[in-house]
Structure 1
Amino acid sequence: MTTTATDALHDVAQDFLAAYESSQPIQPPRETIPNLDVTGAYRIQQLQEQAFIDRGEQVVGRKIGLTSLAMQRQLGVDSPDFGFFTDAMMYRDTDPIPTALFIAPKVEPELAFRLGRDLPADPTLDDVAAAVDAVYLAVEIIDSRVEDWNIALVDTIADNASCGAVILSEPVGIPLDQLAQVTAVMTVNGTETGRGTGSEVMGHPLEPLKWLAGVLAAQSVPLKAGDIILTGSFCGAAPVTPGADVEVDYGTFGKLNITFF
């Protein structure tokens, strides 16, 4: 990669970091950097990750996005992606959420998994299941530092897979052999905005985690014990504004109730 190309990636990473502070979105990176590819987009993301670490935040997990057909169709892309989240981006479901932290927030119902052991670079689904030591009900707040959610795959990757924040329940007792049958119904201010089942997340909610282990291994980034992984939305995302009350009903496994202010 030429010095000029490297400088362009750094410049876009700095633009994204500034957008977090100013709440002013930026141009799509694909327009700023002609022929931007997935490798370059992840490099922009990695530069931001390092900036968060340098200011004292701890990367505690990864989010996998675009794992359901509903989300791929909603955002006009055709493959999964991933991003990171830090301790400063995590909330419990009892926390009121300040919408002022975001530019154009939307919510997605998901499941999250904590690893009790490191994952190999090319795990089987059985390896992944054996590594999971906790399951959480989760809502991801996705947000776009790109103007008007005008994103292609490289844009959302560069923008940390559009991650805004992560909201987790306490660990719940969902048997791993029932994950594909888990249902989620999301309402915003009492109106249903989406529903889905675990099978809509790449056929099984642990399949994205298996995919991620392989992709990260190619970047020499292992998945380690203690990492928390969100594996993708059960349905399309719904926008939220100040005063929104979000409920996600997971049937017999519980509910998440979240208030935005």
Structure 2
Amino acid sequence: MARQQQLAEVAEALLQAYDTREPVAPPRALIGDLDLDDAYRIQRLQEEAVTGAGRRVVGRKIGLTSPAMQRQLGVDNPDFGFVTDDLVFAAGSEVPVGRFIAPRVEPELAFVLGSDLRAGATLADAREAVDTVHPAVEIIDSRVRDWDIRLVDTVADNASCGAVILGSAIDVPLDRLTEVTAGMSVGGAAAGTGTGADVMGDPLAPLAWLAGVLGEQGVALRAGEIVLTGSFCAAAPVVAGESVDVDYGPYGRLSAAFV
């Protein structure tokens, strides 16, 4: 079987899992010598399919940027995926659990870009490109059976992106993001804590990293796009009837209910 056909078949299987809610075997098991380049090709095939169907890419999510998440999923590198308009919920929303397979939640910061960010961007460039900062919760989900993933599997599965809960902009100095704290509870029980320093040393560092990775593919991060740069702590599972609440200290709270 031609390589491109193999990649296309895995992409189609992952796309179907969104609708059927039936997870699939790990991509690495379907293509034995699957590498990271192949995994991103599978992801791009899905992006092309969903945008061709009328959905709009509004930003990117970066994952696996904290030691806690890398330990939890057994990987040692960041990854990224795309976020479409239908995956963004406002803070305070009721989020239907039935649209996911095995959702987990992560407290993060999201950045809306005020200018383009291209390959070679430094941390200072990333800071200059940011227009607004938002508290956010990423809902990660896996179309791979039993969360049996390695880096190539989660990359192929759009970096395990499920949805994003986005809060209103907060007034936080961009040179003090490392000091931002987040305490997450799920269903009223403490579920994790962390600081901005847990996200690659600075929540803006993944933004500069992503600009470089995308730039190698001839893609720039564009003004107006939303970028989530990774969780402050390990992800926690969530089920219908529970709420997630994240306390960002002086920068307020973000909550949403799962129904």
Tell me whether the two structures share a fold, i.e. TM-score over 0.5.
Answer: yes
Number of matched residues?
A: 259
Following superposition, the deviation at residue 4 of structure 1 comes to: 1.0
Matched, 1:84 2:82: yes
- Give the structure 2 partner of residue 25 of structure 1: 23
Give the secondary-structure state (helix, strand or coil) at the position aligned to 1:61. strand
1:208 matched residue in structure 2: 206
The residue aligned with 1:123 is: 121
Residue 160 of structure 2 corresponds to 162
Q: Secondary structure at the match of 2:118?
A: coil
Q: Secondary structure at the match of 1:232?
A: coil
Q: 1:31 corresponds to which letter in structure 2?
A: A
SS in 2 for 1:117: coil
Q: Which residue of 2 aligns with 1:195?
A: 193
Which residue is equivalent to 1:95? 93
Q: Deviations over 1:115-157 (max 9, x none)?
A: 1001131111111111100000000000000000000000000
Aligned to 1:6: 4
For 1:200 and 1:95, the matched residues in 2 are separated by 27
Q: Which amino acid aligns with 2:78?
A: P
Partner of 1:238: 236
Give me the CA root mean square deviation. 0.7
Provide the C-alpha distance between the structure 2 equivalents of 1:123 and 1:42, rounded to a whole number of angstroms.
21
2:41 to 31, 40, 43: 43
Amino acid of the residue matched to residue 153 of structure 1? L
2:140 is aligned to 142
Structure 2 SS opposite 1:35: coil
Equivalent residue for 1:171? 169
Gaps of 5+ in 1: none
% of aligned pairs identical? 59
Q: Secondary structure at the match of 1:17?
A: helix
> Secondary structure of the equivalent of 1:25?
coil
CA–CA distance in structure 2, aligned partners of residues 32 and 120 of structure 1: 34
Q: Runs of at least 4 residues of structure 1 off by over 2 A?
A: none
Corresponding residue to 2:247 among 227, 243, 249: 249
The SS at the match of 1:122 is coil
The answer as to 2:234 corresponding to 1:221 is no
Q: 1:82, 1:239 → 2: CA distance?
A: 21
How far the C-alpha of 1:95 sits from its partner, in A, is 1.2
Cα offset for 1:94?
2.0
> SS of the residue aligned with 2:2?
helix
Aligned partner letter, 2:98: A
Partner of 1:108: 106
Q: Which secondary structure state, in structure 2, belongs to the residue aligned with residue 6 of structure 1?
A: helix
Moved more, 187-196 or 153-162: 187-196
State how far apart, in whole Å, the 2-side matches of 1:79 and 1:198 are: 18
Distance across 2 between alignment mates of 1:192 and 1:244: 13
CA–CA distance in structure 2, aligned partners of residues 81 and 23 of structure 1: 23
Which structure 2 segments of 5+ residues have no match? none
**Matched residue SS, 1:194:** strand
CA apart distance, 1:245: 1.1
Q: Kindly provide the CA deviation profile for residues 81-128 of structure 1, in whole angstroms up to 9, marking residues without a partner as x.
A: 000010010000121000000000000000000110011311111111
Instruction: Please give the TM-score of this superposition, normalised by the length of structure 2.
Output: 0.99
Matched residue SS, 2:49: helix
